Structure 1
Amino acid sequence: MLVVDLLLCALALAGAVPVVVLAAQILASLPPLRQTPVAPRRPSLAVLVPAHDEAGLIAGTVAALHAGLRPGDRLLVVADNCADATAATARAAGAEVVERHDSARRGKGYALDHGYRHLAGTGLPETLVVVDADCALAPACLDRIARLSAAHDAPVQAAYRLDPPPRASASLRLATVATVVKQIGRPLGGHRLGWPCGISGTGFAVPSRLLGLPNGPSLANGHLAEDLKLGLDLALAGHPPRFCPQAEVRSVLPAGAAARRTQQTRWEHGHLSLILPYAGALARGALRRGDARLAAMALDLCVLPLVTLALAEAGLVALGAAWRGLGGGAAPLLVSGTSLALLILVLGMAARRWGAGLLGWRDVAAVPGLVAGKAAILLRFVGRRQTEWVRTERAGEGPPR
């Protein structure tokens, strides 16, 4: 009995760690945001836009980015395995374009690597900024993250805000708030605690030299979470990413249920697959170098997506209750129950802070469906994990390719 009690207590305590980390991030994110001075030096830069079949959006993206460029800057669109007029449309809009055709090596990481190598062969600028083809980054925000990256010689991630589509359902509004908490609330709280952040894949700046270091991070990979992986690799190489809450890159959540499921599956399977190989490496790096920033990144990586974390905590409570019912000790149930209560409290605080104007009390009725969808994604990770990159369907398109 005692051995099982200790094992279940250890499991409950392990489950409480990500809840405590999340609570610290959410509490630190609650105060209003304040503007900070802009770093003094503006580096030369290239904006790299990976685009796969984005003919309908790329002209608007190029036009918006052009407004933030200065003489000597470059705007490069990588038309990656496109079957439409993305390349021609981007050229007509005034972008430099390079095309890539490789059906065996699919994924955004390969497109970024192709663009980086093209820039390296024709005049690499000091700073590389990555913006997805379906995103908007204001000129002032482009300038801010480039300056901050140069000032700290480190990657810098803008706040990635995903807005709900017009006439969004309750489940989409809930998903929007969960995404805002993940992409803005938690990084902002971590930033105020002095922690690094992850890379969100769009709206980030990185000194070009960091991508060409011997034994440094490689862009060329087909991982589902190539953005998160890049940030972790840069951190292990001694350059943890910084968060810039004063700059925002914006996009819109996919409206279709199938498109949303594709996006969620890619994000969550990608995240989960990185926890085991990278959490330990970051912890060892923190001990070896005496760098608490790596330990903070390891803890942040272990915080599961919100609904997934809630399901895990509820499972631990059920396990503790079952053990108590069989005559075991009360400690596992007490620890897991306290952890779940803290999580519910924190989620309520996050919804109030980051869901203002998005959520109403009636939206709570959509929670069971959201939980069921996330449970299905988790089951797929266990039994039939997604490993290949799949593009998210845009509004008005057919199935993702």
Structure 2
Amino acid sequence: MSRLRARAAGRGFFAPMTLIDLLLCILLWALVLAGAVPVLILTVQVLASLPALRPAPTAPRRPSLAVLIPAHDEAGQIAATVAALRPGLAAGDRLLVVADNCRDATAATARAAGAEVVERDDPARRGKGYALDFGYRHLAHTGPPETLVVVDADCVLSPAALDRIARLSAALDGPVQAAYRLDPPPQASSALRLATVATALKQIGRPLGGSRLGWPCGISGTGFAVPTRLLGTVGLASGHLAEDVKLGLDLALAGHPPRFCPEAEVTSALPAGAAARQAQQTRWEHGHLSLILPYAGALLRAALRRGDARLAAMALDLCVLPLVTLALAEAGLAGLALVWWAVGGGAGPLLITVASLAVLVLAFGLAARRWGRGLLRWQDLAALPRLVAGKAGILGRFAARRQTEWVRTERAEAGKSAG
């Protein structure tokens, strides 16, 4: 970088750029422009999500369905989940709980609540994907319904929401994802309220904005419906950390991109304990990051080959990191651009990264106003450094020693202090 240092010192401005300088310049510009694209996509999604939701008509035909609940040590949650779902079942529908490698009374509790139960004992193959595959094969062996609805054992899907996603899935002949809302526990800390808003943006705001633009959405792992005939085209048996995201991407590559149904909500509670939240976020983010390289390119190639812009949109959406992680990545690029400018490499990359950070802050402000109304307070922003530090730790572990084994999020901490 001799020419750059000379420029910074005010000497030799027209000195020829060395090959190394040129390569560094090209690399930095590529990183800066690649970092600006996810910010632009997120901002467009936020802007499209701002108008109020208008009620949509219900699809006319209700298919036969089975509700599949994968459950690992969920004896304390499963009865309430089953009780909330049973009123939405019609004659001939089934409600199947897969008690997956359980060490507690999940199976007995689910049976007592009125669910059909199968038990799976295979400690060597751990993960929700294996439980889904086990339940699907059981249903297929005994006569599969038209539509499969998946609900996590700690979630609530109302009868009306169950009916809506099942009808829409049948009408579209494709997978449909309900809006997944994670609520904070009572007297949540500032950090937890910030996390709630960021999660609402990821699970509801961005999919809603994308759907208004005609884009597909991802699968959130709970509250989704899919025609059972499509499940034979993808592999469910997976121990991947983000088996839900992977399933949505596989369905899209098979020609069935998921659609978002904001009128139906599936709800759960964010873990109150710091350790449980960290474990959940680590699983989500490491799983998401590990899917970007293998799937973004595959989706773009499929989009070009089939002339299907929806797959290109899904590839771009996959590259949008969660809000705080994206902000950290942009801040890192801004630091590199600042060093480049300081040694005389030009201000262009620095201007773009600073502008990207400013747009990201604006997008967060708009999202917080839309999705954090009544929840977020100005004083909660004081917890932002702690939230950023936690995300930085998650990213550092991904670079040094990423998590690859599926681990259940412990809910036992829910009764402890949320601070």
Equivalences for 1:95-114 in 2 at 5 Å? Answer: 95-114=115-134
Write the distance in 1 (CA, Å) between the matches of 2:29 and 2:352: 7
Write the distance in 1 (CA, Å) between the matches of 2:30 and 2:128: 39
- 2:60 pairs with one of 17, 20, 40: 40
CA contact (8 A) 1:165 1:255 kept: yes
Write the distance in 2 (CA, Å) between the matches of 1:363 and 1:397: 20
Unaligned runs of 5+ in 2: 1-16
Partner amino acid for 2:235?
A: S
Kindly state the Cα deviation for residue 396 of structure 1 after the two structures are TM-superposed.
Answer: 4.6
Write the distance in 1 (CA, Å) between the matches of 2:80 and 2:371: 28
Aligned residue in 2 for 1:61: 81
CA contact (8 A) 1:5 1:331 kept: no
How many residues of Structure 1 are paired with residues of Structure 2 in the alignment?
Answer: 396
CA contact (8 A) 1:5 1:332 kept: no
Equivalences for 1:248-259 in 2 at 5 Å? Answer: 248-259=265-276
Aligned residue in 2 for 1:205: 225
Partner amino acid for 1:49?
A: I
Kindly state the Cα deviation for residue 7 of structure 1 after the two structures are TM-superposed.
Answer: 2.9
- 1:130 pairs with one of 115, 130, 150: 150
Aligned residue in 1 for 2:345: 328
Aligned residue in 2 for 1:165: 185
Secondary structure of the residue aligned to 2:248 is helix
Secondary structure of the residue aligned to 1:128 is strand
Bigger radius of gyration: 2
Write the distance in 2 (CA, Å) between the matches of 1:397 and 1:137: 20
CA contact (8 A) 1:196 1:243 kept: yes
Write the distance in 2 (CA, Å) between the matches of 1:76 and 1:123: 13
- 1:346 pairs with one of 351, 363, 369: 363
Equivalences for 1:151-300 in 2 at 5 Å? Answer: 151-212=171-232, 216-300=233-317
Write the distance in 1 (CA, Å) between the matches of 2:299 and 2:88: 36
Structure 1 runs of 4+ with >2 Å offset: 4-7, 395-398
Secondary structure of the residue aligned to 2:263 is strand
User: How far does the alpha carbon of each residue in 1:293-351 deviate from its partner, in whole angstroms, 9 at most, with x for none?
Assistant: 00000000000111110001111111111111111111111111111111111111111
Q: Name which of structure 1's ranges 349-358 and 263-272 shifts more when overlaid on structure 2.
A: 349-358
Write the distance in 2 (CA, Å) between the matches of 1:256 and 1:396: 5
Aligned residue in 1 for 2:9: none
Kindly state the Cα deviation for residue 28 of structure 1 after the two structures are TM-superposed.
Answer: 0.1
CA contact (8 A) 1:9 1:335 kept: no
Secondary structure of the residue aligned to 1:75 is strand
User: How far does the alpha carbon of each residue in 1:218-272 deviate from its partner, in whole angstroms, 9 at most, with x for none?
Assistant: 1100000000000000000000000000000000000000000000000000000
Secondary structure of the residue aligned to 1:97 is strand
Write the distance in 2 (CA, Å) between the matches of 1:150 and 1:233: 19
Write the distance in 2 (CA, Å) between the matches of 1:397 and 1:337: 39
Write the distance in 1 (CA, Å) between the matches of 2:60 and 2:33: 46
Unaligned runs of 5+ in 1: none
Partner amino acid for 2:80?
A: G
Write the distance in 2 (CA, Å) between the matches of 1:378 and 1:366: 19
Partner amino acid for 1:149?
A: S
Kindly state the Cα deviation for residue 10 of structure 1 after the two structures are TM-superposed.
Answer: 2.1
Aligned residue in 1 for 2:386: 369
Write the distance in 1 (CA, Å) between the matches of 2:238 and 2:128: 8
Write the distance in 1 (CA, Å) between the matches of 2:27 and 2:404: 33
Change (3 A) 1:397 1:25: closer
CA contact (8 A) 1:255 1:395 kept: no
CA contact (8 A) 1:145 1:158 kept: yes
User: How far does the alpha carbon of each residue in 1:138-190 deviate from its partner, in whole angstroms, 9 at most, with x for none?
Assistant: 00000000000000001000000000011100000000000000000000000
Aligned residue in 1 for 2:106: 86
Write the distance in 2 (CA, Å) between the matches of 1:183 and 1:397: 21
CA contact (8 A) 2:185 2:414 kept: no
User: How far does the alpha carbon of each residue in 1:330-389 deviate from its partner, in whole angstroms, 9 at most, with x for none?
Assistant: 111111111111111111111111111110000010000000000000000011100000
Secondary structure of the residue aligned to 1:67 is helix
- 2:332 pairs with one of 305, 315, 319: 315
Aligned residue in 1 for 2:319: 302
Q: Name which of structure 1's ranges 129-138 and 388-397 shifts more when overlaid on structure 2.
A: 388-397
Kindly state the Cα deviation for residue 395 of structure 1 after the two structures are TM-superposed.
Answer: 3.3
Write the distance in 2 (CA, Å) between the matches of 1:278 and 1:130: 23
Aligned residue in 2 for 1:393: 410
CA contact (8 A) 1:145 1:244 kept: yes
Write the distance in 2 (CA, Å) between the matches of 1:94 and 1:7: 60
Write the distance in 2 (CA, Å) between the matches of 1:194 and 1:183: 17
